[in-house]
Structure 1
Amino acid sequence: MMNQQGIFIVIEGLEGAGKSSAVALVNAYLEARFPGREIVNTREPGGTPLAEEIRAIWKRPREEAMAPMTELLMVYACRAQLVEGVIKPALARGAVVLGDRHDLSSQAYQGGGRGLSEQVAALAKITLGGLKPDLTLYLDIDPALGLSRAQARGALDRIEQETLSFFQRARARYLAEAAADPDIVLIDASQPIEKVHEAIVDQLNQRLGVSA
């Protein structure tokens, strides 16, 4: 996989799965094993100045309930801006793009959690035009455990305040997508963090053709 073409790697998972530490690990891994290779870090929703403004509105709790379709359209507005302004140009010049979430999050959260699978599929087709990560590391965790970890971090955002059943539906979609796509690798995120990181490095070594 690791040639002169651009590579797109994504970290996915529910709240409390440990995405931030996984992103830091993968970034350090890439810097150490491929010195001189450009690495572009992104996050979704967000990743550009305009998309970050939308993200701030999207995540902030408020008295007015956000309609599911509003939530969906806002996240794809962010994604369209990020894909056209950052991801596609970076891949075209041969960079490694390391994403903290991408379209699989919408399939899980808005498709599974909100029940908007058809709308997600339609917007993904319009927005992505066939763009797909080369490798997705999905950090799987029981929603109850993940939410307890998120609560321990402090104040919860709008999505983190959702019901347990919402996250259970999202996880079910994550698992279904991982089972159907060989480019989505499931990592057990309920393990001690050292074991999680070992599993991530092992998968990177296999996928990128690096000797352990």
Structure 2
Amino acid sequence: MFKQLLSVFLESQCPCCQKTTAHTFCKYCFNKLSSHQLKQPDRTGWWGETPVFAWGRYDGQLKRAIALMKYDNHPEIGIMLGKLLAKTWLASNLAKFTKISVIPIPLHHHKMKERSFNQAEKIALGFCQLTGYSLSSQALIRVKKTQAMFDLSPEERIKNLQGAFRLGKKPPQHPVLLLDDIYTMGTTIKESAKILRRNQIKVIGSVVVAKTSSYN
């Protein structure tokens, strides 16, 4: 009887369909989310100066989950997505890196006040919980309030992010993986990596939950 009562109190509503669930998403919505996972994420973008490892395609239920996290106050979705990203990373041939500092892309303090949390930091928390990597949330600071990037051209994106970041007071102790929720053209990741490298900090690459179809 006690266990039955306890299970009722522990259950919550699925943020996608409002069904009662003991997990972040109900089984049906989680399966829809999982259908957007990339088949071979470690081979689709791990190249170039700042390679990217993406868990899934920015579409359908995954796109909706990220929107719910950011705009409907569901930070727990970020932790869940971080754990999904971590499981795939650990199963890849890239998990040979053992001592890593994970730096989530920071929000400007105005955006933090508006949203109350940084979605990249929540994802990074879940990612580090499973990988055992060091979370370096204060290693990078966003000092410029930038425009939303979705309707900007590649040239406008670069100009928008110039001078947006600086090194924080707590530099990372190990080589860095940058972490963000969505990867479109990589402008934010590249600008962040540039600041770190300018300060003699090694950047291995980046990990993201989703990449858009515009990225190849």
The reply to whether TM is greater than 0.5 is: no
Task: Work out which structure has the larger RCO, using CA pairs closer than 8 Å and 6 or more positions apart in sequence.
Answer: 1
| TM-score class, shorter | 0.3 to 0.5
Greater strand percent: which structure? 2
Q: Which has the larger radius of gyration?
A: 2
Greater helix percent: which structure? 1
